[in-house]
Amino acid sequence: MKHLGQLQIIADQNNGNRAIGTRGFNATLDYITSQLEQNTNLVIHHEYFTVRNSIVEGIPQLQSQINGLVTNHVYRTDFTYFSFSSRANFGSFIRLVSIPNLGCQESDWMNAAVADSVAIVKRGNCTFIEKSQLAEKYHVKGLFVYNDGLAPDRFQPLQGATTHFNSTIPAYFLSYNLGMQFVNAASDPSTNAGVIMNIDVKDAEGIGNICADTPTGDKTKTIIIGSHSDGVSDGSGINDNGSGTVANLVLALNLARLLQTASLNYAQYQYRIRFCWWGAEELGLLGSIYHVEQAALASATIESGRLEDYLLYFNYDMLASPNPNFGISDSVQVPSGTPNQAVYGTDRITDLFQQWFKEQKLPWTKSGVGGGSDFVPFLTSGIAVGGVNTGAGGIKSPDERDQYAALMGTGNGGIANAPYDSCYHQQCDRITNVNPSAYEKVVKAAAYAIEHVGRLNGLEGWLYPQGRAKTPKLLDRKKLYNMHNDTHLF
């Protein structure tokens, strides 16, 4: 908890967040690096990449003119921006056009005469990515998506919505009330409804990944333990993913201490262990994708990491949810095109974690690997993956609550019909938002998994009895980005 407390201090000292492109994110990387340098003999590597259109400077502006009345709308109350929105600086009011039928079909846009207008479309039926792709295809000047008002949390503008990869149009997310006002105005030509959008965005340069390797162990047989070090722009990001960041750091610090303290007689692993902290996961797995792309290059070295040397990837993302389950990564849902060899190895790691939870008389829940975190680029490249988590914005069912209470005791199964983390991607994701008991259990599970596979003779054959995929698949960066953001359905 000490390290989590330090991440909270970092966020508090840097405008309340640790998102990429901020001082809070850079301070997070500095903290990880200093802890590794001061307390271990691990070999530290840094790599840097650029994220396009990812930093918004100043406060986005939105102005409307309806029946000649000009109104300035309030950022965060009336609207927010989509991540990867392009810049906009409208010099005059642009015609507002309402898109019918939720804007998920070509015909919705084809018949709306949207070229050179700002299109407004209701949330629902398809992803925000699909809506933005259609908007761009039909040459809009800007895009508004508005909330649907179907639940108490569906009235305010959504924070953290994401447009499609390499978008070239500005995009805002509107509250339900403002959206309905604009739709009604756009539906009546006599109102002469128009809007002005102003948003200044720039690329985030020098976004960092950190990896730290044990100095011993076969470098051509590497086990990677990864977690993302960034948070969203709203909130301190302590559960998501300060909890994974710190778990990874504590695992690294303790393993390094064991390996370099002669009096402990702790035997060296036969495999290199690599601990990594990825940047820009929240914007589409960009740090881990970049690392895998670099590892697949012909110019990659054994020291920097070659894809063929990676046997296994563990991922730790959200480990301290306040209303937790114990989610074990499972191959029930795998990204399309994943090599079968990697699926088999993933199942073996799933079984390993399940066995540990059974031995500890703890419940567990299947957690798919369909696209939500940094295991995806490794898995789709043919590398077996595994990990545990404690849940994000999903809802704990009464059956799951009862299952957990049966093993952990009445009152310890959590709250049914409530999110695993009600502060997911929100300002309240602070140090007070973590469950220390659940956190301790999953970190122990992670430590057990490293020890087990690190001591296992013939790990490669155990994971890949039919051999590994002959040629690692080239990553489809756009596909992986869109896969990660498919949670933005609605």
CATH number of the domain enclosing 76: 3.50.30.30
Domain region containing 281: 2-42+214-487
Rounded distance, CA 66 to CA 195, Å?
Answer: 9
65 and 159 belong to one structural domain: yes
Rounded distance, CA 164 to CA 156, Å?
Answer: 22
Of the residues 148, 166, 201, which one is the last residue of a structural domain? 201
Distance of alpha carbon 250 from the chain centroid: 21
**Active site (annotated) includes residue 281:** yes
Of the residues 148, 169, 201, which one is the last residue of a structural domain? 201
Domain count, the chain: 2
pLDDT of residue 111: 84
Rounded distance, CA 404 to CA 402, Å?
Answer: 5
294 and 336 belong to one structural domain: yes
Give me the catalytic one of 47, 57, 205, 281.
Answer: 281
- 47 is a domain residue: no
CATH of the domain at 344: 3.40.630.10
Question: Bridge-partner residues for 342, per DSSP?
Answer: none
The pair of three-digit structure tokens given for residue 487, joined into one six-digit string: 């949670």
Query: Is 120:99 a contact under the CB 8 Å cutoff?
Result: yes
Counting as low any pLDDT under 50, the low residues of the chain are 486-490
325 and 436 belong to one structural domain: yes
pLDDT of residue 488: 45
136 and 91 belong to one structural domain: yes
- 48 is a domain residue: no
176 and 259 belong to one structural domain: no
282 and 419 belong to one structural domain: yes
Classify residue 170 as left (phi > 0), alpha (psi -120 to 50) or beta. Answer: beta
* Alpha-carbon Rg for the chain in angstroms: 24
pLDDT of residue 49: 92
pTM of the model: 0.86
| SS3 label, residue 95 | strand
256 and 392 belong to one structural domain: yes
The distance in angstroms from the start CA to the end CA of the chain is 36
Q: Which residue has the tokens 């969203």?
A: 232
The pair of three-digit structure tokens given for residue 284, joined into one six-digit string: 């589409």
163 and 194 belong to one structural domain: yes
Nearest to 283 by CA among 164, 123, 173: 164
344 and 460 belong to one structural domain: yes
pLDDT of residue 478: 56
Query: Is 86:54 a contact under the CB 8 Å cutoff?
Result: no
Nearest to 19 by CA among 247, 207, 269: 207
168 and 293 belong to one structural domain: no
339 and 286 belong to one structural domain: yes
- 413 is a domain residue: yes
| SS3 label, residue 169 | coil
pLDDT of residue 99: 96
